[in-house]
Homo-oligomer: A and B are copies of this chain.
Amino acid sequence: MALKSQQPLDPAYLEKLQDYYAEHKVIPSYSVLATLWGISAKSWVSECVRRFEEAGYLGWTPDRQLKPGPRFFERRLAHDTVQAGLPNPALSEGYDLVTIDDYLIRIPSKTSLVRVKGDSMIDAGIHEGDLIVVEQQPNANVGDIVVAIVDNEFTVKYLDREKSTFVLKPANKAYPVIRPKGRLEIFGVMAGLVRKTR
Interface contact A152-B83, CB-CB below 8 Å: yes
A81-B152, A83-B152 given as contacts; is B125 within 8 A of A195 (CB)?
yes
* Tier of interface size on chain A: 35 or more
State which of A26-34, A39-47, A159-167, A172-180 sits at the interface with chain B: A26-34
Chain A window 129-153, contacts with chain B (Cβ cutoff 8 Å), 1 for yes, 0 for no: 0110111100000000100010011
- B100-A194 in contact (CB<8A): yes
Chain B hits for A28, CB < 8 A: 61, 63, 65
Q: Report A148 CB to chain B, min CB distance, Å.
A: 11
Knowing that A21-B108, A189-B198 touch, tell me 12 more A-B residue pairs with CB under 8 angstroms.
Answer: A19-B107, A24-B61, A24-B67, A25-B72, A26-B26, A75-B108, A78-B114, A82-B152, A89-B154, A100-B101, A190-B197, A193-B193
